[in-house]
Chains A and B, each alone.
Chain A
Amino acid sequence: MRARGLAKAPDAPLATIAKINGAQKLAALDARGAALGLRPGMNLPDARAMHPALVCADADPAAEAETLAHIADWCRRFTPLAALDAPDGIMLDVSGAAHLFGGEASLQADVEARLRAQGFFARAALASTPDAAFALARYGGEREGRILPATLDAAALARRLGDLPLAALGLDPATLKALAEAGLRRVSDILMRPRAPIAARCRPELYARLDGLLGLAKTPISPRFEAPAFMAERRFLDGIVRREDIEASILSLARDLSKLLARHGEGARRLEVSLFRVDGAVMRFEAGASRPLREPGVIARLFRERFEAASKANDGEAFDAGYGFDVIRLAALEVERRDEEEADCFDIGNRQGVQASLKAADLADLIDRLGARLGVRRVTRLAFHATHAPEFAVTAAPAAQYADKGHHIKPAAMARRAAFADEAGLLPARPIRLLPRPEPIEAIAGVPDGPPLRFRWRRVLHEVAAFEGPERIAPEWWRRDESALTRDYFRAEDTEGRRFWVFREGLFVSETARPRWFMHGLFA
């Protein structure tokens, strides 16, 4: 949030806020906020009264989930089996992998240190069941206490875990409250008591989770893991180094992926190439598509553009291949339904009758390619903006975004809206062509608000034969500089039938003694 410039005061405590039951409440806090005695769940006004300097941003669960997903993604460096444990956890299956990182303790230290370096506070725990790992990561005390040796017997396990609070079982708040009211707060409180009376008063999850914690029941882990929807992978005995080789592999991976996608009637909207270096480093390149993609060539080209852009930014080298890559993976991270006919025009090559859709696809591809090379934000299209100020009525918006939302711009409709809003036969209110900036003209006109009688524009003198106006447009006081003046626009037709859009700048007397005149547009 600080990075986004939300906080002007760098020392101010930070919080996210969410609307809960109609009241603004703190959702989460940074360390400063917590140190000042603020707590999640507090009403915002109360918190503000205590600390007027508190900086807030609306909680964004989607962004938080996304961040968590990114972290989970990043965690695949440790194991391919990384899963989300929303809202705040990540579960890694490191069976048989810990030794690669110098044992469990150093794996744990490595995870925590690397995440901390990225600015995340993380607590890692290792145990032989997901339930136990879940519990220890959150309630397991100091670092060494958060590793549960697989060799403990039942009694030792009960001793080790008995002191954990029942919240460590991941139970719902109502169950926890009911148990606390009965004086049952720790795992041992349950373990030492008869099952029947407690089970009769609680939801069955209690004992299920308890058994999971103690390793008596193995909670199935697979549903908790997510893998990319569609993925193709190639392994090499010797690491490959050259960019051409890599790009060639990507093309062949793209063919595999394309078949996979076609079989499911999907196209890729977000793609990722992962390059796994022999020494363990992973490089990722992501590319988005503005339409569901399936064409291997297009996919490969996207990444070629990405590498090209990366190498420009990085002294001519797209990536540091080091001793080479031994695994290359191409994954479709996001997919979308794709109609078969549209695919036809590429794959089967029915060139007649599909010109229109071909064009649309070409345009989308062009936007993607330009976007991949120049940056998505720098490929723009014109869009309407609701304002009275003529030069701001049109703005440039990212083209990909438009394609995204299905806001295809229909130039014909646009022109109609601008030009023919009024009845047929009369001059439209806005010119077909707006000059990039108003050009000063010399005009003779009556005060205070009369039309121009004749004017000189680009050294040519025009006699006004007919006019309409004035249309008075005052400056947008809240964003333009204060010196901006009110304009009186006229639609003027000269003696030769040419039609112009001119304006007087400044109200006579009240704003200026000598209004100036400008040419701002031409009618057809």
Chain B
Amino acid sequence: MTSVMHGYAELAATTNFSFLRGASHPEELVAAAMARGLAGIGIADRNSLAGVVRAHRYEKANRTADFRLAIGARLVFCDGAPDILSFPRDRAAYGRLTRLLTRGNSRAQKGACLLRFSDLLEAAQGQQLIVMAASTFDEKDGAKQAATIYPDLGDAGLYDTNHVERPDGASRLLERLRKAANGRVWLAATMTYGRNMRRDFGRRLALAARTHLPLLATNDARMHTPERRPLQDVLTAIREGEPLDRIGLQLEANAERHIKSDAEMARLFSDAPQAITETLRFLEGLRFSLDELRGDYPEELREGFATPQAALEFFAREGAKFRYPAGVPAHVEKSIAHELALVEKLDYAPYFLTVHDIVRFARERKILCQGRGSAANSTLCFCLGITEVDPAFHDLLFERFISPERNEPPDIDVDFEHERREEVMQYIYTRYGRARASLTASVITYRARSAIRDVGKAFGLSEDVVGALSNTIWGRSSSAVEAEATRRAGLDPTEKRLAQALKLAEELIGFPRHLSQHTGGFVIARSRLDETVPIMNAAMDNRTTIEWDKDDLDALGILKIDVLALGMLTCLRKGFELIEKHYGEALTLASLPAEEAAVYAMISRADTIGVFQIESRAQMSMLPRLKPEKFYDLVIEVAIVRPGPIQGDMVHPYLRRRQKLEPVSYPSKELEDVLGKTLGVPLFQEQAMKIAIVAAGFTPSEADQLRRAMATFKHVGTIGAFKAKMVEGMVARNYRRDFAERCFKQIEGFGSYGFPESHAASFALLVYASAWMKCRYPDAFACALLNSQPMGFYAPAQIVRDACEHGVAVEEVDVNRSFWDSTLTEGALAAPHPRHASMRGDIRSTHKIQIGFRQIKGISEADMQPLVALRDKGYDSVRDLWLRAKLSPSVLEILAGADAFRSLGLDRRAALWAVRGLNRAGDKDDLPLLKGLSWRAVEADARLPPMPLGEHVVEDYRHLSLSLKAHPVAFLRERLAQKKILRSEELATLRNGVRASVAGLVLVRQRPGSANGVIFLTIEDETGTANIIVWPKVFEALRSIVLGANLIAASGRVQIEAGVIHIVMERAEDLTPLLTLLSGDRGSGGKIPAEARADEARRPNAPDSRAPREKIQPKLFADASAPASDAELRRVLPKGRNFH
């Protein structure tokens, strides 16, 4: 080889943040460019900067002196101009680029960006521009939108610089560009082995000669290695929505568009070596780095204070006085001073003031809020009213929140009432302006299910096969489809095409698919935010998001505030309002009577339906064993039933120690400090990290890296190294290997679902608050829960039932009594269910709950508003209601269906008959003259049969999702008893280990990710709930019953542990068809119901209907297995909610 200069930089790298176009992660592209010895790489995604931070982060972590990363964007215009890569030379030019993209985003709906060539001319100052050969703008970029916004859009070929017949167009475009950016315009040339590569190249040379613009070599790379070609093709197929077989020419003909070495590029461009050298000259002009973006936080000056720090100090001291009315204790004083000093040193005062202001706004509007997460470690946050837990009291360390060593911004997360969070968000927009505040993005990546779905479609696999594959994955798994599961779905994983699809799906996992808005992370800037990062319209009106997610912001040191929504806060606020209104007791989270024994007694009995966090099956089975007695026990309870401790197998050791079945011991002296509070068992995230530091010799920042590595998905390679380091480190320090491995496992679990202690403490406060309300005022609590739906674990039926069991009377919805919300009215407390007899003295309720209209399905608040407003002394007939409130007949029908006319002496059937009898059009009552007259023709009595109670109950479920009349299972009790199926309350009388059967409506199916595939089933009969455990083997055998039954009979051994009763399922039967007996139609007289048969007859080639039935145990009820027409019933009755 001659001594041709070898330096080359690939400046046109497209990452997979050009969604469904680039086939490599930004990190992979940078790594490949480094590995191939390039002088640098330019990341330029289509009208987006979404991937640049990742490239930056990678480059920073692997920085070498002779490699440069250039940050830019590929501008794709909607007016036919060729794509132009724009790389800012400095910070100011970068700001112009982000504003340009923001402008394009703001014109389009979510996901698109509409730019015109003239936009670039305005922003061209300080940009270095590379003009590509042609425009790649297409349908997916929003061509349709563009056409509606710009009807005048010219001929798409107008600017085509490669178009032979239009040399003028190209020259004109380049001339204008040169005027706007003189000396900073390059012409791109590519050598990608296309059909007319040489001809195109020749033309490019000619154009360069004619316009005197330098030619610049690029490979227009879309992947880091040619091995990505299959995935690249699949992405194209996904984008075009057509299978690979059919999109043919839209695919790349070859795999050439990857990162090539400088030698290879030099060889390709041997005819024009200057095009290679130009890449280096291009790179030299760029001085901008993303690191320059740090520290653009608003100043947050407060009137009357010289500096933000002064203001913060003032607010903190004021808050402390409020928190400690009896005088601020010395240790609190000390903490505050310590924290303030640190905040001053790191210059975070403005950030705290922002959060303080947002919380102040919420308080003013009476929106309940509470900080969560590591902010609860801060006395400052406590005094500022951001958090409610006193960190000094719980011995929480501020350094876990902010530390100078970690050098990363603090992260304050605040929960607000879910119904009213929008008010807070709009306040932030108004206060800072849309140019300065925006939501962060969250990058939606391919998971196993979505990957197999899209890849399957690209391969042209049938919906059926794709569905079968994706359904072998439960929940939001991120691991690929297993061969075993594939076989179970009736497919052969070794079949070539399927094998290819599965392999590519796995490769696709972790690829970004699109940007979505983060649940509530706000970024706020001092100057214009759109000069830091492009802003785009979110799917929701009035919301904007930036193009970066929280990891990107962390990496750049940009502060953000999480404004989150929490249903329980809504419920608590509504509950507090009810208590104040009806009982005159004004309460807040802070003023709630603390540590009441009655509340802990209730929790220890697992009487926690509706209580925050501890209402799930897994939590409830833990409570009687843990028997919480004080607040810190709740903190542990919240943290312990989490994947981290469960995967680390820490739960049982803790319980045994807690129950004093095992002595408390520590793995070592040094860990006694770390694990002292939790009886020697690590339960919190910090403890696991601390173990890595104390016992395995990690530095704090290594421990943090470890946690991050776990949390961020698919950072292959690093985890194995961490594991070895931790386990070996601990073994070397004389820890037992199995303990070390369990600790590591736990960190793995924590990665995605860990609870730090402070977070658990914040949540525990809400646990206590909700439990307190449930204990003292079950009426207000249930009423508030009903008015905050949907939220929590249980359906309204269980909430109402639980209230009744605690002696609270509940009234059916009624047109003359109900309001939109459920309300409390004067009443008397009945005796609670014997099960809750011990609470008799603790409950202070005296009111009954009047169910509100919101409980009726299919009715809107606007419909009911005139009904309530015009009700006056009440309605005396259906007709009266119809004429006065002017409700539409369909709304009246829904009200009648909900049985809301009882106060008029009409039951459901009579009311429906009356509503349908209203002559709906041209009725004489419509005439104004006759409006007041009540006369109408007397019609013959239709002598309708009375509706049986069972049918009423079913209809209640249909319209209200609950019934106050009776429990559906009660109607079947006689038949169930004949088959020796017990009432759920009878289970308590049994001995451990005997066999028993129960039957009930399925309320919840839960398969916690951490429980090895065990399913927890909660069923309900007329006497209460029963808990069923289904082992995976049994589940596979009885899958259809467990997942499909509304009413299930389950048999198995009774397992009693610490007062918690489970039945371990051995057999099960779907009894749903029995429920058809509840409706008035007593069976079909032995005739074959038509529906099932008719459908069968409709299909050609139906297999012989004498085909063998599924082989299961003999049926308990012959009529429960008849092909009854129960589809309708299955829709009406609760299906059971599934939790993963």
- Check B912 against A471 for contact (C-beta < 8 Å): no
Any B CB within 8 A of the CB of A287: no
Any B CB within 8 A of the CB of A369: no
Any A CB within 8 A of the CB of B254: yes
- Check B1102 against A119 for contact (C-beta < 8 Å): yes
B712 to chain A, nearest CB (A): 29
Q: How far is the CA of A167 from the CA of B492 in the complex (A)?
A: 45
Any A CB within 8 A of the CB of B366: no
- Check B1103 against A471 for contact (C-beta < 8 Å): no
Residues of A within 8 A of B550 (CB): none
* CB neighbors of A among B1044-1072 (8 A): 1044, 1070
* CB neighbors of B among A34-71 (8 A): 34-37, 39-42, 44-46, 48-58, 64, 67-68
Q: A68 — nearest CB in chain B belongs to which residue?
A: B1098
Any A CB within 8 A of the CB of B212: no
Residues of B within 8 A of A486 (CB): 254-255
Q: How far is the CA of A469 from the CA of B200 in the complex (A)?
A: 11
A1 to chain B, nearest CB (A): 7
Any B CB within 8 A of the CB of A6: yes
- Check B1044 against A37 for contact (C-beta < 8 Å): yes
A326-366 Cβ-contact flags toward B at 8 Å (1 or 0): 00000000000000000000000000000000000000000
- Check A48 against B909 for contact (C-beta < 8 Å): no
Q: How far is the CA of A30 from the CA of B1095 in the complex (A)?
A: 8
Q: How far is the CA of A429 from the CA of B194 in the complex (A)?
A: 11
Residues of B within 8 A of A183 (CB): 909, 944-947, 1080
Find the residue from B246, B253, B463, B497 having the highest chain A CB count within 10 A: B253
Any A CB within 8 A of the CB of B494: no
- Check A478 against B249 for contact (C-beta < 8 Å): no
* CB neighbors of A among B1009-1031 (8 A): none
Any B CB within 8 A of the CB of A496: no
- Check A31 against B1107 for contact (C-beta < 8 Å): yes
- Check A141 against B1103 for contact (C-beta < 8 Å): no
Q: Which of A193, A426, A478 contacts B942 (CB 8 A)?
A: A193
- Which of A248-256, A382-390, A403-411 lines the interface with chain B? A382-390
Residues of A within 8 A of B1102 (CB): 30-31, 119-121
Any B CB within 8 A of the CB of A380: no
Q: B1080 — nearest CB in chain A belongs to which residue?
A: A183
Q: Which of B244, B471, B1070, B1093 contacts A123 (CB 8 A)?
A: B1093
How many B residues touch the partner, as a band?
35 or more
Any A CB within 8 A of the CB of B459: yes
Knowing A37-B1044, A119-B1100, A178-B916, say if A28 contacts B1095 (CB, 8 Å).
yes
Any A CB within 8 A of the CB of B873: no
Q: Which of A53, A193, A201, A469 contacts B917 (CB 8 A)?
A: A201
Q: How far is the CA of A488 from the CA of B197 in the complex (A)?
A: 12
* CB neighbors of A among B1096-1121 (8 A): 1096-1107, 1109-1110
Q: How far is the CA of A199 from the CA of B496 in the complex (A)?
A: 65
Any B CB within 8 A of the CB of A152: no
Knowing A183-B947, A385-B248, A474-B255, say if A468 contacts B942 (CB, 8 Å).
no
Any A CB within 8 A of the CB of B1040: yes
Any A CB within 8 A of the CB of B1043: yes
- Check A429 against B196 for contact (C-beta < 8 Å): yes
Knowing A34-B1123, A46-B1044, say if A88 contacts B254 (CB, 8 Å).
no
A199-215 Cβ-contact flags toward B at 8 Å (1 or 0): 01100000000000000
Q: B256 — nearest CB in chain A belongs to which residue?
A: A472
B442-467 Cβ-contact flags toward A at 8 Å (1 or 0): 00000000000000000100111001
Any A CB within 8 A of the CB of B940: yes
Residues of B within 8 A of A388 (CB): 248-249, 251, 253
- Check B193 against A488 for contact (C-beta < 8 Å): yes
- Check B1097 against A122 for contact (C-beta < 8 Å): yes
A395-429 Cβ-contact flags toward B at 8 Å (1 or 0): 00000000000000000000000000011001001
- Which of A8-16, A222-230, A371-379 lines the interface with chain B? A8-16
Knowing A50-B1043, A181-B909, A193-B943, say if A40 contacts B1091 (CB, 8 Å).
yes
Residues of A within 8 A of B246 (CB): 386
Residues of B within 8 A of A17 (CB): 463
Q: Which of B462, B468, B919, B1095 contacts A48 (CB 8 A)?
A: B468
Residues of B within 8 A of A102 (CB): none
Q: A477 — nearest CB in chain B belongs to which residue?
A: B230
Find the residue from A16, A138, A167 having the highest chain B CB count within 10 A: A138
Residues of B within 8 A of A119 (CB): 1100-1103
Q: Which of B250, B912, B942, B1105 contacts A181 (CB 8 A)?
A: B912
Any B CB within 8 A of the CB of A87: yes
Any B CB within 8 A of the CB of A3: yes
B959 to chain A, nearest CB (A): 11
Any B CB within 8 A of the CB of A198: yes
Find the residue from B196, B462, B464, B1109 having the highest chain A CB count within 10 A: B464
Q: Which of B471, B942, B1109, B1130 contacts A194 (CB 8 A)?
A: B942
Any A CB within 8 A of the CB of B489: yes
Q: How far is the CA of A8 from the CA of B488 in the complex (A)?
A: 12
Q: How far is the CA of A45 from the CA of B253 in the complex (A)?
A: 38
* CB neighbors of A among B874-926 (8 A): 897, 908-909, 912-913, 916-917, 919
Q: Which of A194, A422, A479 contacts B245 (CB 8 A)?
A: A479
* CB neighbors of A among B195-231 (8 A): 195-199, 229-230
Q: B1084 — nearest CB in chain A belongs to which residue?
A: A165
B1113 to chain A, nearest CB (A): 15
Q: How far is the CA of A123 from the CA of B1095 in the complex (A)?
A: 12
Q: How far is the CA of A471 from the CA of B478 in the complex (A)?
A: 40
Any B CB within 8 A of the CB of A196: yes
Any B CB within 8 A of the CB of A139: yes
Residues of B within 8 A of A426 (CB): 199
Q: A478 — nearest CB in chain B belongs to which residue?
A: B244
Any B CB within 8 A of the CB of A185: yes
Any A CB within 8 A of the CB of B287: no
Q: A64 — nearest CB in chain B belongs to which residue?
A: B1098
Any B CB within 8 A of the CB of A94: no
Residues of A within 8 A of B916 (CB): 178, 201
Knowing A31-B1107, A183-B944, say if A53 contacts B251 (CB, 8 Å).
no
Q: How far is the CA of A3 from the CA of B245 in the complex (A)?
A: 25
Q: How far is the CA of A194 from the CA of B941 in the complex (A)?
A: 8
Q: How far is the CA of A140 from the CA of B254 in the complex (A)?
A: 67
B932-958 Cβ-contact flags toward A at 8 Å (1 or 0): 000000011111111100000001000
Knowing A6-B464, A46-B1044, say if A185 contacts B254 (CB, 8 Å).
no
Residues of B within 8 A of A121 (CB): 1093, 1096-1097, 1102, 1105
B825 to chain A, nearest CB (A): 30
Residues of A within 8 A of B1100 (CB): 64, 67, 119-120
Knowing A50-B1044, A163-B1085, say if A471 contacts B251 (CB, 8 Å).
no
Q: How far is the CA of A3 from the CA of B1103 in the complex (A)?
A: 11
Apart from A42-B1127, A120-B1100, 19 more pairs, CB < 8 Å = A16-B1099, A32-B1103, A37-B1044, A39-B1126, A49-B471, A88-B1097, A120-B1097, A181-B908, A182-B909, A182-B912, A184-B944, A197-B942, A201-B917, A388-B251, A426-B199, A471-B193, A472-B256, A477-B230, A477-B500
5 A-B pairs closest in CB distance: A386-B248, A472-B193, A50-B1040, A31-B1105, A387-B248
| Chain A contact residues, CB within 8 Å of chain B | 1-3, 6, 8-9, 12, 14, 16-17, 24, 28-32, 34-37, 39-42, 44-46, 48-58, 64, 67-68, 87-88, 119-123, 138-141, 163, 165, 167, 178, 180-185, 189, 193-194, 196-198, 200-201, 385-388, 422-423, 426, 429, 468-474, 476-479, 486, 488
Contacts A/B (CB < 8 Å), 11 sampled = A1-B1101, A37-B1040, A37-B1041, A45-B467, A119-B1103, A121-B1102, A194-B941, A194-B942, A385-B248, A429-B195, A474-B229
